[in-house]
Amino acid sequence: MIHDYLPISRADMNIRGWKQCDFVYVTGDAYVDHPSFGHAIISRLLEAHGYKVGIIAQPDWKDKKSIQVLGEPRLGFLVSGGNMDSMVNHYSVSKKRRQQDSYTPGGVMGKRPDYATTVYCNLIRSVYKDAPVIIGGIEASLRRLAHYDYWSDRLKHSILIDSQADLISYGMGEKSIVEIADALNSGIDIKDVTFIEGTVYKTNSLESVYDAQMLPSFDSMKADKMEYAKSYYIQYSNTDPFLGKRLVEPYNDHLFVVQNPPAKPLSVEDMDYTYDLPYMRNYHPSYEELGGIPAVREVKFSLINNRGCFGACSFCALTFHQGRIIQARSHESLIEEAKVLIEEPDFKGYIHDVGGPTADFRYPACEKQMTKGACSNRQCLFPEPCKNLRADHTDYIELLRKLRNLPKVKKVFIRSGIRFDYVLADPGKKFLKELCEYHVSGQLKVAPEHVADKVLSKMGKPQNKVYRQFVKEYNDMNGRLGLKQYLVPYLMSSHPGSGLSEAIELAEYLRDLGYMPEQVQDFYPTPSTISTCMYYTGYDPRTMEKVYVPTNPHEKAMQRALIQYRNPKNYDLVVEALKLAGRTDLIGFDKKCLIRPRTGNTYGSVKRVDGALESQKRHKKKTIRNVHKKSVKR
């Protein structure tokens, strides 16, 4: 095996002595051979199984020649939109075009199309009509069945239909992609590859489809949003690899999309094998003169410790993509990778992260999950920790100690986030001390997201009293250690369930805290989350109860402004929100007020204290007299 970047040109193929690739991987990201990038993992895994893989990164979707640079592959094309959904990559929540693409050389925007996976597949079909096309990555995974698309504001087909692809490898894909490759290599036609877990395929007949649950038809979901809410929750309840059923989504009498159950989770040995493959650990050198790839800076000195998340926040797509069962790497694998990082010439002594979706999850939530799956009718941490939850940081603490004791390592940070309710649930109580003493650099970022319990219940987050308890224990621990370290809370505005009264409750909390966030995340309805389903349908799919959803851009702007009420640019929006909510008592000069009134405005119930109102009147009369005197002199 040649330890080098995979071929991106015919010249590279010639160096390796290849006349034809087995697979050509087309990706919306620049080519980065690092295990933080999905195209690197899948291509290196196939290489390790004896397949020849070439890379076409960010082809010009307006030019057919761009998809032909490596020729037609022997077994098929693999297509991914990139590490992010291309629409999230391109647009902010206000649907304004972003200025930078961190996955493109020099951060230049516009090197991939909107709906990149679909566009690339149609480009391939225009040239190679019969070549097998397998799609994967987060864009395909989260759009694998009918889904609400925020940017077009409509329900869209399974991406399998619009892209003209043959097969979806959904989820993380390591197991399914090797099975797909072996099936094609054995001579099985792509249309007959219908038996692999973790895949979705199209069929004109259900004669050979057994033991499947029928979903509402696309036409019925389009006609009735409640039908979509029902369908979504069936899908959500079947994301577990042990309990998940085969699902069928009808489009008409002769077209069905079939989702096979998810692939089984990787063992520790599987995870080690995946991350120990011979990655170059950097972007392709051809990008150097273009300014490199900004996203690499975030991951170059970080370690991926786990995948999966049993936190199951409503607005997060992880349950749908990676699943709820934690899969972790061994200490040995992580330490060996750390030793490689340490020898990098630009290593400064800092490991930036030892994490994953949630950094401090090192085990499945309970003993039964790896054999019987995660419960479909309950969550592990919400509304409170399950009595069977294994809340234990012992292994993570041991791992962190080993890493920070390596030669040349000055500090090991945890930046990918911890779950504060899980920290509190750990009866050992040792992790918080280790965290504060060794792994925080002045500030710890956590994600309470909101303070109103009504909103938190829709978010799948613990009650506000849990976060307050964590704040107290965090501050107490830093006090005992003699450290001045702070919490930086991530907050979200306009989530389903949040009206102006809940937004004001959040603003009052920030007032009492004396904290003003520099950035606020407005809820972003990305494909295939519970929160997005609520946003589109107005129903909570878990209970089918109606949910208030702020969809009006102006109301959303008011909710966002309330979180940053001290910003002068937000003054008018804050006043309008407080008036609409009947909370003009928060406009004034009392310490409990959010903003002060402008001269001449009293807003009904505004009061000045300590004689300030009389002082204002005297100042106004004096100003009038001075203006009159100047007028007489002229």
Tell me the torsion sign for CA atoms 285, 289, 294, 299. positive
Give the CA distances from residue 18 to residues 70, 204, 510, 633, in Å, rounded to whole numbers and listed in that order. 10, 38, 62, 95
Helix (H) or strand (E) holding 184: helix 174-185
pTM listed for this prediction: 0.92
> Quick check: 158 and 111 in contact, CB under 8 A?
no
In a domain, 35, yes or no: yes
Question: Running DSSP on this structure, what letter comes out for residue 91?
Answer: B
In a domain, 599, yes or no: no
- State the virtual CA torsion across 446, 452, 458, 462 in degrees, nearest 10: 50
Give the tens place of pLDDT for each residue, 60-114.
999 999 999 999 999 999 999 999 999 999 999 999 999 999 999 999 999 999 9
Phi-psi region of 526 (alpha: psi -120 to 50; beta: other; left: phi over 0): beta
Instruction: Report the pLDDT value the prediction gives residue 602, as an integer from 0 to 100.
Output: 61
Q: Looking only at Cα atoms, what is the longest distance across the chain?
A: 102
In a domain, 269, yes or no: no
Identify the domain containing residue 110 by its residue range.
10-201
Extract the tokens encoding 35: 């295990």
Instruction: Report the pLDDT value the prediction gives residue 1, as an integer from 0 to 100.
Output: 53
> Quick check: 124 and 68 in contact, CB under 8 A?
no
**How far is Cα 153 from Cα 272, in angstroms, rounded to an integer?**
41
Which residues partner with 79 through β-bridges? 26, 135
Instruction: Report the pLDDT value the prediction gives residue 175, as an integer from 0 to 100.
Output: 97
In a domain, 307, yes or no: no
Extract the tokens encoding 495: 């989530």
Whether the bond between 383 and the residue before it is cis, its omega within 30 degrees of 0, is yes
3-state SS class at 296: helix
Instruction: Report the pLDDT value the prediction gives residue 603, as an integer from 0 to 100.
Output: 63
In a domain, 167, yes or no: yes
In a domain, 364, yes or no: no
In a domain, 225, yes or no: no
Chain centre distance of CA 457: 20
Chain centre distance of CA 255: 32
3-state SS class at 530: helix
Residue 270 sits at φ, ψ, to 5 deg, of -65, -45
> Quick check: 435 and 418 in contact, CB under 8 A?
yes
Query: Which of 90, 105, 99, 123 lies closest to 29, judged by CA?
Result: 105
In a domain, 286, yes or no: no
The number of distinct structural domains making up the chain is: 1
- The amino acid present at 7, given as its one-letter code, is P
Gyration radius from the chain CA atoms = 27
**How far is Cα 250 from Cα 509, in angstroms, rounded to an integer?**
48
CATH number at residue 122: 3.40.50.2300
Query: Which of 556, 561, 564, 558 lies closest to 517, judged by CA?
Result: 564
- State the virtual CA torsion across 207, 211, 213, 219 in degrees, nearest 10: -10
> Quick check: 146 and 158 in contact, CB under 8 A?
yes
Give the tens place of pLDDT for each residue, 488-508.
999 999 999 999 999 999 999
Residue spans of the chain under pLDDT 50:
605-634
Which residues partner with 580 through β-bridges? none
Instruction: Report the pLDDT value the prediction gives residue 600, as an integer from 0 to 100.
Output: 64
Instruction: Report the pLDDT value the prediction gives residue 95, as an integer from 0 to 100.
Output: 96
How do strand 255-259 and strand 282-283 relate by DSSP bridges? unpaired
